[in-house]
Structure 1
Amino acid sequence: MEMLIGVKIKSIRELKNYTQEYTAYRLGITQAGYSKIEKGTTALSLEKLQQLAVIFELSVENIINFEIQRYFSEEKHSKKYDTVKGQNNFHLIAKLYEDKIMLLEKLLGKTDQELKYYKEKCSTL
């Protein structure tokens, strides 16, 4: 059974130990409004999903494809499986850092463009 996006967002928020209040504050909405996103009673815009990706330090794709079973399993696993699982988590964490670096590089590029624009504007005054 595929998880709904609101359930995925709630699971990620809880894994990050973020409260609904904190997450809502970061999104610029009320806690009640945020709660409706998690419950799926209000539509989630792409803009809010992108903001959540920044808050959770994940890519939008990772939020959409999130599966709680990947992180927690009720079955007992062998040590061999745990090693493989640990390697998968390492790759996931590495991917998360790569996503964060890409986002920061994009933001830095935009900041550089704005700085150049204002320097040019000031030099013509």
Structure 2
Amino acid sequence: MATSIKNKIKNIRELRNYTQQYMADQLGITQAGYSKIEKGKTIISYAKLVEISEIFEVSIEDIINFDSKKCIKSLNRVKDNNTVKFYNNCKVLKGLYEDKIKLLEKLLNKTEDELEYYKNRFGP
């Protein structure tokens, strides 16, 4: 069974670490209104899909073609000197994982800075 647009939007949102509230704020709607989009209780207009794609920084085609199962399978395929070949529909997933890594690196750096501050202030 094909994954619906609402599920693809939800999957991409979660991979981006965006909350429903964040998406709602970006779209100028309530969190409950956004939740209805992901639950399929509201029909997504083309204009709204364009806005969502802009928030995700991907094309509408990337959202429509997004298939997390194929992306995960392609990650496991090793080609030419152990480099991973990403297929077109996996570009989104790769970018989302890279965004997650950057976010985690920022959090780690902040934690390390705070730890250093407390060590300097209170001793080892």
Q: Give the TM-score band, short-chain normalised.
A: 0.5 to 0.7
Partner of 1:56: 56
Q: Aligned residue pairs: how many?
A: 91
Partner of 1:113: none
Q: Structure 2: any 5+ residue segments left out of the alignment?
A: 96-124
Report the AA paired with residue 92 of structure 1.
K
Q: Structure 1: any 5+ residue segments left out of the alignment?
A: 97-125
- Are 1:13 and 2:13 an aligned pair? yes
Partner of 1:77: 76
> Where in structure 1 do 4 or more consecutive aligned residues deviate above 2 Å?
70-73, 75-86
Give TM-score, length-normalised by structure 2: 0.62
Q: Percent identity?
A: 52
Counterparts of 1:1-125 in structure 2, within 5 Å, are 1-73=1-73, 77=76, 79-80=78-79, 83-86=83-86, 88=87, 92=91
18 and 46 in structure 1: CA distance in 2 versus 1, 3 angstrom threshold: same
Quote how far apart the aligned CAs of 1:66 are: 1.0
Quote how far apart the aligned CAs of 1:76 are: 8.8
70 and 31 in structure 1: CA distance in 2 versus 1, 3 angstrom threshold: same
Describe the SS at the equivalent of 2:83. Answer: helix
Give TM-score, length-normalised by structure 1: 0.62
